[in-house]
């Protein structure tokens, strides 16, 4: 039972009820109750969000505001606690409405910040921490060893060795942490400090490259994100094609994995022959992976309808069928980019479709349609769309996003709009005297 008496049997405390319980056992019981409530779906959105925020924080870090808000939520949903087999009578009494409102307002900003904060691991092995800007949190994040700022975004970047400090930071500020990062605490988080005595990246008899390592959760997660991977259950190894040797050498060097000499030689040979333009089988897009060059960047942007094709997460240029295939082929020849067979076939297919669309557009009868006030002329495919829209009363216009449907519809409306009648002018001839 609580150490302090209740004022009424319905659980509403008196004005003299303290906000802080001062009893670690009661605080722990309240924390367990909030954890059970946050896992269910019976609470309204506001209470569930705040309960989840409080449950993520350790009970030892709770202050008077946290205890007051938790007691208010528990009192509001005592029937849900009964369903979870939690005795509400062993919890602190409900606070006064004024105290509960004050506590909720004090925690609202922290709960919002926690909901918008993330702790993730990137493909390059670094851990990214993001949260809405707060000067105190930013100062604490910068004090963690290995801190770097993401030049392309608001994230704070850290090596994998900083994971214990990052998990402690997330624990104190109620930032959600993925399960694979929590499990990584029990593994070797300093791969550069020790090296496996046997080669763990080696060439298989069939010519493929396999990666074998002890079950370190962080490495398992990272190696699964590498392109071209397949799992060999018999050998319990991650297997990659020979062209991935250079990528695997860089991956092994970053994580302290021993590399067989044959893999080093294969990586050095494949790095000179590896295609720079490849086909993404999943999306059908072209991926241009090479060192940054301003002139190449400008050429790819021009081919992509003056839009950037840089994909930050993949650290490569990604181009879809919207890009000008003819200009892309010219860019590949101009810069001597190596292109694989799949990407070359896809590029030729795009060029054939675009040339056919252009021919159909030019063959369509009718003069070009212009829109008053439109700064840029319509493209051939937009001219074809305008003619189709003007000749049919009921149509479904489903061009791909970004192909200029807005301008085409404006042009169609302009072409079908009836001319406005001229306003009558002033009467001509001499004025009639009055």
pLDDT truncated to tens, each residue of the chain (434 aa)? 343 433 333 433 333 344 445 678 778 888 888 788 877 777 787 777 788 778 777 777 788 888 888 888 888 887 788 777 787 777 877 788 888 888 887 777 777 776 677 788 776 667 888 888 888 888 888 999 889 888 777 889 888 778 788 888 887 777 777 766 665 554 444 444 444 345 478 888 888 888 887 655 567 767 777 777 888 888 778 888 887 787 788 788 777 788 888 888 777 665 555 677 888 888 888 888 776 677 888 899 888 888 888 876 666 788 888 888 889 999 888 888 888 888 889 999 999 988 887 777 666 555 666 666 666 677 777 777 887 787 777 778 777 777 778 888 888 887 777 665 556 655 555 555 54
Of 238, 221, 216, 217, nearest in space to 229 by CA: 238
Q: 328: closest CA among 264, 277, 275?
A: 277
Cα–Cα distance, 425 to 66 (Å, whole number)? 77
What pLDDT is recorded for position 14? 38
Rounding to the nearest 10 degrees, give the CA dihedral for residues 37, 40, 46, 47. -20
- Give the single-character DSSP code of 306: T
Concatenate the DSSP letters of all residues of 112-168 into one string.
HHHHT-EEEE-TTS-EEEE----HHHHHHHHTSTT-EE-TTSS-EEE-GGGHHHHHH
pLDDT at 404: 78
Q: Is residue 430 a contact partner of residue 423, using CB atoms and an 8 Å limit?
A: no
Residue 13, pLDDT score: 39
CA 70 – CA 28 distance, rounded (Å): 11
**Alpha helices by DSSP H, 162-287:** 163-172, 179-183, 217-224, 245-254, 261-273
Please state, in angstroms and rounded to a whole number, the distance separating the CA atoms of residues 182 and 221: 12
- Pair type for strands 156-158 and 127-130: antiparallel
Q: Which residues contact 221 (CB under 8 A, 6 or more apart)?
A: 121, 180
Q: Please say whether the beta carbons of 380 and 357 come within 8 A.
A: yes
């Amino acid at each position: 039972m609580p150490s302090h008496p209740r004022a009424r049997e319905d659980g509403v405390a008196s004005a003299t009820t303290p906000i802080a319980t001062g009893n670690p056992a009661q605080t722990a019981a309240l924390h367990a109750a909030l954890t059970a409530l946050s896992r269910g779906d019976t609470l309204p959105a506001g209470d569930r969000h705040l309960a989840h925020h409080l449950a993520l924080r350790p009970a030892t870090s709770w202050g008077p505001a946290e205890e007051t808000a938790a007691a208010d939520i528990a009192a509001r949903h005592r029937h849900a606690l009964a369903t979870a087999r939690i005795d509400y009578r062993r919890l602190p009494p409900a606070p006064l409405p004024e105290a509960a409102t004050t506590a909720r307002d004090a925690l609202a900003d922290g709960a919002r910040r926690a909901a918008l904060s993330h702790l993730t691991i990137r493909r390059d092995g670094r851990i990214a921490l993001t949260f809405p800007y707060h000067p105190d949190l930013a100062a604490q994040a910068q004090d963690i060893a290995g801190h770097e700022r993401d030049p392309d975004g608001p994230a704070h970047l850290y090596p994998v060795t900083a994971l214990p400090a990052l998990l402690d930071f997330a624990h104190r500020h109620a930032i959600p942490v993925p399960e694979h990062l929590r499990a990584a605490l029990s593994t070797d988080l300093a791969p550069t400090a020790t090296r496996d005595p046997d080669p763990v990246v080696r060439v298989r008899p069939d010519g493929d490259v396999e990666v074998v390592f002890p079950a370190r959760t962080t490495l398992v997660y990272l190696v699964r994100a590498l392109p071209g991977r397949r799992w060999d259950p018999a050998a319990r190894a991650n297997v990659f094609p020979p062209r991935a040797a250079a990528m695997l050498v860089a991956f092994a060097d970053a994580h302290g994995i021993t590399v067989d000499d044959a893999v080093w030689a294969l990586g050095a040979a494949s790095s000179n022959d590896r295609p720079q333009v490849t086909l993404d089988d999943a999306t059908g897009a072209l991926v241009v992976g090479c060192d940054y060059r301003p002139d190449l960047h400008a050429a790819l942007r021009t081919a992509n309808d003056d839009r950037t094709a840089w994909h930050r997460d993949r650290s490569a240029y990604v181009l879809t069928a919207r890009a000008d295939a003819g200009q892309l082929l010219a860019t590949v020849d101009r810069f001597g980019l190596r292109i694989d067979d799949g990407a070359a076939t896809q590029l030729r297919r795009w060029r054939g479709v675009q040339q056919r669309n252009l021919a159909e557009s030019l063959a369509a009868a009718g003069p070009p349609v212009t829109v008053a006030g439109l700064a840029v002329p319509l493209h051939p495919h937009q001219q074809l769309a305008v003619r189709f829209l003007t000749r049919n009363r009921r149509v479904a216009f489903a061009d791909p996003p970004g192909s200029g449907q807005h301008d085409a519809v404006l042009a169609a409306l302009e072409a079908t709009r009836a001319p406005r009648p001229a306003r009558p002018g002033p009467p001509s001839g001499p004025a009639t005297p009055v």
